[in-house]
Amino acid sequence: MGKEWLRLKYPLVEIHLDRLRENAEYIVKLAQKYGVQIWGVTKVTCGHPDVARTLLDAGIKAISDSRIENIQRMRKAGVDTYYTLIRIPMISEAETVVQCANCSLNSELDVLKALNEAAGKYNTVHDVILMVDLGDLREGIWPSDLMDIVGETLKLNNLRLKGLGTNLTCWGGVLPTEENLGQLVELAKSVEDQYQIQLEIISGGNSSSLPLLREGKMPHGINQLRIGEVIMLGNDTVSHKPFPNTRQDTFILKAEIIELKEKPSHPIGKIGLDAFGKPPFFEDKGIRLRAILGIGKQDVAADGLKPLDPGIEVVGGSSDHIILDLTEAEGSYKVGDIVDFTVGYECLLKAMTSPYVEKVVV
């Protein structure tokens, strides 16, 4: 707090690389115990090059991201590794994908054909992992259609079928289990038997699969996971509690107080919808010491902010403002002071994407 404004521009996110490395090293060690390789997912940091380097230094074998622009950013910064695009490519970006990414996750034959044509144009071979939908109903080939798609993929000379994968929890909330990931292993065996090939990768999902791995219940045959949130924030995406042996203070958001006044806790007058078209709810606590921060929902998710001062309450926010209740704060604050927060996944994603939030590597 105090005169930090003389040196830094707020709001900002501090990226603590040493803490990230601790998390990554632990996850790599845990996975190695069960013969599983970890590919680090950098999408929540918009492909920040220093973050990618830290993951690789910690033993991560490859970098994955959902946006080709992020992969381009890391390559331009000199981060030399194996890159996978983990969002299904758009046909319109096929040429860029085969130029920038070594591998991509796929579920559509038309997209595969576009990638094959683009790879031929640039005289390269592009790796693909076919995604299988095991019930979460986001991306993936339905199991009954898999053999036909595999057969068509193997006819595309400029593509290499690297393996099969799945995604769980992200949309439908379906949890990874011994049963559904066991189904993926069985499908991979069927593919290998029918087409007399060897699949290099059987990708058992994302951070939500780590609890299963930690319990020693990951089906034999799953040999790769795509991990982002547990490394980045130390969050167990299944229980929404801290993942054991990881840190949750890897990213610290700092925002400046622009107004500090005692005001009623309940608005005065007839109440309609808020700026986002939702009916607001207010608990009447009487007069409270309220602070407004120079950051808003355009930059962060208000419900993902956790003040380091445990007496501070995040009341809510609008596009450009976050409102705090400082009545029970342990510290003493004034206008111009800085409030520190740890952040949730959505909150970090917005902050790292926002051009109005500075990013400072520690």
Which residues have a catalytic role annotated?
A: 43
Q: Rounded to whole angstroms, how far apart are CA atoms 134 and 219?
A: 15
Q: In 3-state terms, what secondary structure has residue 247?
A: coil
Q: In 3-state terms, what secondary structure has residue 179?
A: helix
Phi, psi of 83 (to 5 degrees): -110, 140
Give the closest residue to 298 by CA, choosing from 276, 278, 324.
276
Residue 180 in tokens: 């559904």
Q: In 3-state terms, what secondary structure has residue 121?
A: helix
CB 345 within 8 A of CB 304: yes
Which helix (H) or strand (E) element contains residue 292? Answer: strand 287-293
Phi, psi of 75 (to 5 degrees): -60, -45
Q: Which amino acid is at 265?
A: S
Give the strand pairing for 126-131 and 103-106: parallel
Tell me the C-alpha to C-alpha distance, in Å, between residue 353 and each of 18, 47, 269, 298, 350: 22, 10, 36, 10, 5
Q: In 3-state terms, what secondary structure has residue 360?
A: strand
CB 11 within 8 A of CB 339: no
Give the position of tokens 């709001």.
Answer: 11
Q: In 3-state terms, what secondary structure has residue 120?
A: helix
Residue 70 CB-density burial (10 A; 0-12 exposed, 13-18 middle, 19+ buried)? buried
Q: Rounded to whole angstroms, how far apart are CA atoms 98 and 102?
A: 7
